[in-house]
Structure 1
């Protein structure tokens, strides 16, 4: 098993630099085909002071959009050529201009989607990562703002709560887990049933040749997200694997949750499935 088709979500020039620095070594190592997807927002009609459509504004906005898309495509193509990676570019125009939303159809035919962590300073230009997690059925590798290692991940931390989403993530991440020097299956405040399933997961992953251990953690008054982030730091893990949105998106938005907390404060490269 390997990731032979990768969809790369390229929302902004900043995204492009950080994302392709992560995607190119990965694609070259795995012999993957990379599909770059970028969306520009359709210019919204404006009116002049006389109430007539402002044709000059629409023309100027369209030209700026085409110029930005062309620059991103040029950078993408150059990076792929330098890394000897097979690739294709898909640029679209949409009302939202959201590259993640525009990439949903392409993502459904890929092995894995790679996107950048949302930058809190760029709220108007961030891609909708929830659209990828909820609407594609494919795993998503999120590159943190600080970037990620170019080589194989050395230590993988699997956050295990026994849910369908966690199971999807663990096995979707097998190519990374098999490359890693060490994988740690982590539970938080586990009962006997969850502890048993964590051991069974470790054994299943080990049958693929992975080097796996289990770590049972106590929350001790902390949130699960804080416990996981702390363990990532203590263990030196460079990839976090977890299920996404075990609760509804509305519930996580209203009351918080592990997925939402990790998306807002990503400790390392994070691999999510739902």
Structure 2
């Protein structure tokens, strides 16, 4: 067994998951099947946004019903997709915030899949989906694969790596290795390599070759503020179906401070992005 193989993949399912849920769970199951991994569904029942005893009973009852329906729908979708691909699954149904559910369970996984879609307002919505992605990427300690509304089916076959020679980028490449080794095409995008004191993408390509991954190297001039746009544009140009990149930032008290490229991709990526911090 490869030391870098995924064996446990987790997928978070929010109570406000909408029409994108079926496609995202199908993607999670296909990924698990392609990697020979076990899949864990993480469903969280969020607390009501106000102090419970100040709420009318009918509001509390509606909240409970909404959570029950969402959980049943999500589990049914997951089980059906898993049966079709012969993937082993488990289900964790937890009360508490989404971040609590993720940190409690996903740290025992190799990879977390998380929706990048911002759900509509609902009674049970307790956590802004934007800040959830930010906090999960920085706090989890595991790679996070952020999914768009309707991710492409199957394992990624055309992967773009955003590379600047940093610790975070190196971590991301290592974390993505099981997918890189299965992809049909891998491209390294190195932005303004002279600023890094050389051509860090060249050494990465050599390293990947020793991992049985053949990668093309693209050099682009630009600044930090342009990195997100360049990544997005390059992914579009080469028809990539996944981006791998480091997540740059830190938590400061209750505030998350993110780098420009990380923020751009968290907010605007239209394809799956694997982040490592």
TM range (shorter): 0.7 to 0.9
Given that residues 3 and 32 in structure 1 are in contact (C-alpha distance below 8 angstroms), is that contact kept between their aligned partners in structure 2?
Answer: yes
Shift of 1:158: 0.7
Shift of 1:5: 0.5
Q: TM-score, normalised by structure 2?
A: 0.85
Q: Following the alignment from structure 1 to structure 2, what is the Cα–Cα distance between the partners of residues 177 and 122?
A: 37
Shift of 1:31: 1.7
CA offset digits 1:159-193 (Å, max 9, x no partner): 11111110000111111111112211111112174
Q: Following the alignment from structure 1 to structure 2, what is the Cα–Cα distance between the partners of residues 105 and 211?
A: 37
1:263 aligned residue (266, 270, 276): 266
Shift of 1:154: 2.1
Instruction: List alignment gaps of at least 5 residues for structure 2.
Output: none
Q: Secondary structure at the match of 2:180?
A: helix
Q: How does 1:20-35 map to 2 (within 5 A)?
A: 20-35=25-40
Change (3 A) 1:188 1:144: same
Count of paired positions? 263
Larger Rg: 1
Query: Hey, what does 1:115 align to over in structure 2?
Result: 114
Change (3 A) 1:84 1:135: same
Change (3 A) 1:13 1:81: farther
Change (3 A) 1:39 1:253: closer
Indicate the larger mover: 121-130 or 23-32.
Answer: 121-130
Instruction: List alignment gaps of at least 5 residues for structure 1.
Output: 48-52
Q: Secondary structure at the match of 2:19?
A: helix
Q: Following the alignment from structure 1 to structure 2, what is the Cα–Cα distance between the partners of residues 194 and 110?
A: 36
Query: Hey, what does 2:21 align to over in structure 1?
Result: 16
Given that residues 169 and 242 in structure 1 are in contact (C-alpha distance below 8 angstroms), is that contact kept between their aligned partners in structure 2?
Answer: yes
Q: TM-score, normalised by structure 1?
A: 0.86
Query: Hey, what does 1:50 align to over in structure 2?
Result: none
Change (3 A) 1:115 1:221: closer
CA offset digits 1:131-157 (Å, max 9, x no partner): 321121100111112x23323322211
Change (3 A) 1:222 1:137: closer
Query: Hey, what does 1:131 align to over in structure 2?
Result: 135
Q: Following the alignment from structure 2 to structure 1, what is the Cα–Cα distance between the partners of residues 20 and 237?
A: 28
Given that residues 9 and 115 in structure 1 are in contact (C-alpha distance below 8 angstroms), is that contact kept between their aligned partners in structure 2?
Answer: yes
Given that residues 224 and 261 in structure 2 are in contact (C-alpha distance below 8 angstroms), is that contact kept between their aligned partners in structure 1?
Answer: no
1:38 aligned residue (39, 43, 50): 43
Q: How large is the RMSD of aligned CA atoms in angstroms?
A: 2.6
Change (3 A) 1:122 1:165: farther
Indicate the larger mover: 121-130 or 232-241.
Answer: 121-130
Query: Hey, what does 1:166 align to over in structure 2?
Result: 169
